[in-house]
Amino acid sequence: TQGLMAGKRGLIMGVANNRSIAWGIAKALADSGAEIALTYQGDALRKRVEPLAADLGAIVVGHCDVTDPQSIDAVFKTLEQTWGKIDFLVHAIAFSDKDELTGRYVDTTAENFSQTMQISCYSFTAVAQRAEKLMTDGGSMLTLTYYGAEKVMPHYNVMGVAKAALEASVRYLAADLGKNKIRVNAVSAGPIKTLAASGIGDFRYILKWNEHNTPLRRTVTIEEVGDAALFLLSDLGRGVTGEIQHVDSGYHVVGMKAVDAPDI
Ligand code: NAD
């Protein structure tokens, strides 16, 4: 893939540490010659993101909390001043109150429902609005979703509802922005042990279940998600938009427990 992203520049939001899916994507893009800008959420993550950015030769364009529109505007202003235009955008951001990523969906509070939707769904549209203005030669936008949008997964609850809305927003954004040669897609990743995932109840059990029941009989890595993202963000994916690309060892085609799977 060397040189595949040569001459392309873009923003990646959602690196928290070297286990983040956004980091897997950043590495794949940098290895292919992309120039990358990263944001961080708050000072605690700044200390983690700055050395990671240095590893890739990426620039850091500041703090961004998607609940604060001014911080989003500031990031895009910096990008405009630094590069003038961008070619790609990666949104790898989600949040819900840990107390509601366990137990029953029916008990979701109005406050956390709104917060989860704002951070995990609306924020993609909010950044797409700003990114569109900088994608003057067309571009490619990508977000991250999970199978809990399509089917009920234990403990995923309100996050599943937000991911369903996020997947619908991928289709609406693709329809709106296609005329400007901007493509919009999502990768639906299988479960991966990250900071965000550790908030989900029984996450280790979910990983084990995937090891025994996916067609490939294993979980996926951030490098594998990174390579699929590279396809969608590069010219290899030039005919693809509005797509939800599963990178989940095939789990989404499975109807029931594998007959050879052990009891776990
Ligand atoms: P992660 O914890 O590494 O990344 C989550 C990121 O969201 C962090 O960088 C955090 O700073 C950011 N974030 C949260 N609230 C924010 C806010 N208000 N403003 C700005 N940033 C905010 O975890 P991850 O698993 O790499 O998550 C990335 C994306 O991948 C998420 O959308 C997640 O739902 C999705 N995903 C994860 C899995 C999995 O199993 N890990 C599977 C499918 C999809």
| Percentage of residues in the chain having pLDDT higher than 70 | 100
Model ipTM value: 0.99
| Residue nearest (by alpha carbon) to ligand 1 atom 15 | 95
- The pLDDT of 58-85, averaged and rounded, is 98
Distance CA 219, CA 151 (A): 18
pTM, full prediction: 0.98
Question: What are the φ and ψ backbone dihedral angles of 99, each rounded to 5 degrees?
Answer: -65, -20
pLDDT for res 257 = 94
Distance CA 143, CA 169 (A): 10
| 194 ligand 1 Cβ < 6 A | yes
Q: What is the mean pLDDT of the chain?
A: 98
| Residue nearest (by alpha carbon) to ligand 1 atom 10 | 14
pLDDT at 264 over 90: no
- Residue 201 — very low, low, confident or very high, per pLDDT cuts 50/70/90? confident
**CB under 8 Å to 39, separation ≥6 — which residues?**
11, 12, 13, 49, 60, 61, 62, 63, 64, 75
* pLDDT tens digits along 32-62: 999 999 999 999 999 999 999 999 999 999 9
Q: How far is the CA of 262 from the centre of ligand 1 (A)?
A: 31
pLDDT for res 216 = 98
Taking CA atoms, 213 is separated from 75, 128, 205, 224, 263, in Å, by 42, 36, 12, 19, 11
**Would you give the DSSP letter of residue 238?**
T
CATH class, 9-249 region: alpha beta
